[in-house]
Amino acid sequence: MTGAAAVCAVEALALAVWGVYLLVMGLLGRPDSPQQAEMGGLTLIALGVIPLLAARGLLLRRSWSRGPALITQIMALPVAYTLLTSTGGLIPAGIALAALAVTGLVLIVNPTTTEALGIRGPAGGA
């Protein structure tokens, strides 16, 4: 449970840091489109709230937290793929993100985590 919460927290932190970076560069830097950089930064900061809330919910053993945690991991996989198929310095970031997302998925769907969250397995056995 703690591992899954840690994965979500790391993803929340990464989204927030990247969002702040884009926001600052939009305000102080010279991007092609300052408005687009600022909006992208605000969007990433807002998206960082989702895994942060999921991490807190997992630590508090709230069953609702499993959904946002799963969605965060699933959404991270296409981003990781995009980074992996790019060139240069983004490939290691793609490897790290893919490893983090797969680890998060494994931890979140683990029967121990499901049980700790009070989520029952499939009913019956047909």
Write the pLDDT tens digit of every residue in 49-79: 999 999 999 999 999 999 999 999 999 999 9
- Cα(17)–Cα(14) distance, rounded to whole angstroms? 5
Percent of the chain with pLDDT over 70: 95
Measured CA angle at 20 (ends 81, 15), to 5 deg? 35
pLDDT of 126: 47
- Cα(20)–Cα(42) distance, rounded to whole angstroms? 8
Sequence-distant (6+) residues with CB within 8 A of 16 are: 44, 45, 48, 52
pLDDT of 18: 92
Residue boundaries of the structural domains of the chain: 2-116
Tokens 């683990």, residue located: 110
pLDDT of 123: 60
Q: Of 94, 93, 41, 51, nearest to 71 (Cα)?
A: 51
- On the CB side of 21, CA atoms within 13 Å amount to 6
